[in-house]
Amino acid sequence: MGAGMKTTEDKALTADGVFYSVVVPAFNEQDTVALFYDRARKTMDSLEKPWEILFVNDGSSDGTLEALRDLAKKDSRVKYVSLSRNFGHQAALTAGLDHASGKAIISIDCDLQDPPELIPQLCAKWQEGFDIVYARRSNYRKDSLVKRYASMAYYFVLGKTSDIDMPENVGDFRLIDRKVLSILKAMPERARYLRGMVAWAGFSHAFVDYQRPDRQLGDTGYSFRKLISLGMDGMLNFSLLPLRIGFIIGIVNIVLGSLFLLYMVLDMLIFDKYYHLYKFLVVLLFMLMGVLFMFIWILGEYVGRIHNEVKGRPIYIENERGNLPV
């Protein structure tokens, strides 16, 4: 269905009566869980439709789980899944999506950098007939120039080299229709990059722009290592550039080596200059070995991912549920 008004059938409640599901991964967010709930509850109540908030405790080491237990006791619309360890943001988000029962599913982080008050605007776009509604950041936070330009370069390269239209300046704050969720749940890969998976699914989409504030409480769950890992998931899962670039580097090395050899021969013939050939051979050998080892590493990454997929281990393991069927 294109971008048209939702029909009565599209708007029908799911079997358990939930219209909107809000999926919230949380890792060491004991200071923000209650604040997020208060703001999200007021926002969701304003929509005047049945809703649920589904938290996913991603192996937190602080009091996040206890805070979720307290909320679940006070409000049956608050549900939670606690994972057996820290599986990572994308796995935690997947766990929440697997349990979401609403007709429209909103994913948002718990750190309040993505304002829950924006959810009604996402829902309004969905009601217009869009199957995916992205919350798009229109400002840059106080990141370092290196991180900012590295991010811009990464998404530029990924967009140019992958076979999907990857939206820019969006994260995991979005709304998806239940039919989009059904497609995501049918994708078996373990190395999850949900931004790419949602884009790959297609469907009609729209954007809601907003100004993203700085984080007020707690620390980011995305360390530099996790950001690199997420970036590699996107690049290796949705682009063959790392493999194809080997051909380009090989051609460049051949051309440079040929020019260098030609220069050396002409210098010897014209200026009668003598070169120790082994010096140039050593330099060329080191260059070729560097290229070789780089591509052995790239192939190793692909083989390692194939190995992980073949093992078929679960994306996450649940340890506890709250207000959810066992």
- Residue 183's nearest CA partner among 205, 165, 206, 201 is 201
- Residue 197's nearest CA partner among 244, 230, 227, 148 is 230
Q: Do 51 and 129 belong together in one domain? A: yes
- The pLDDT of residue 257 is 67
- Is 5 a domain residue? no
- Is 2 a domain residue? no
Backbone φ and ψ of 207, nearest 5°: -125, 145
Q: Do 156 and 259 belong together in one domain? A: no
Q: Do 123 and 247 belong together in one domain? A: no
**Euclidean distance between CA atoms 189 and 310, whole angstroms:** 10
**CATH assignment at residue 114:** 3.90.550.10
- Is 39 a domain residue? yes
- Is 160 a domain residue? yes
- The pLDDT of residue 8 is 42
**pLDDT tens across 37-61, in order?**
999 999 999 999 999 999 999 999 9
- The pLDDT of residue 146 is 61
- Cα–Cα distances (Å) from 151 to 64, 146, 158, 168, in that order, read 30, 8, 11, 10
Q: Do 258 and 215 belong together in one domain? A: no
The predicted model scores a pTM of 0.71
**pLDDT tens across 80-120, in order?**
999 999 998 989 999 999 999 999 999 999 988 899 999 99
C-beta neighbour count of 262 within 10 angstroms:
10
- Cα–Cα distances (Å) from 299 to 69, 159, 246, 307, in that order, read 45, 22, 11, 12
Q: Do 251 and 177 belong together in one domain? A: no
Burial 276-291 (b: 16+ CB within 10 A, else e): eeeeeeeeeeeeeeee
Q: Do 188 and 255 belong together in one domain? A: no
- Is 33 a domain residue? yes
Compute the Cα dihedral for 189, 194, 195, 197 and give only its sign: positive
- Is 236 a domain residue? no
- The pLDDT of residue 196 is 82
Q: Do 124 and 161 belong together in one domain? A: yes
**Euclidean distance between CA atoms 100 and 238, whole angstroms:** 26
- The pLDDT of residue 281 is 72
Q: Do 286 and 160 belong together in one domain? A: no
Q: Do 45 and 188 belong together in one domain? A: yes
CB 21 within 8 A of CB 100: yes
Give every residue of the chain whose pLDDT is below 50, as ranges: 1-2, 7-11, 222
Structural domain boundaries, residue 36: 20-219+315-322
Q: Do 127 and 174 belong together in one domain? A: yes
Q: Do 300 and 210 belong together in one domain? A: no
Per the structure, the count of domains in the chain is: 2
- Is 118 a domain residue? yes
Q: Do 209 and 275 belong together in one domain? A: no
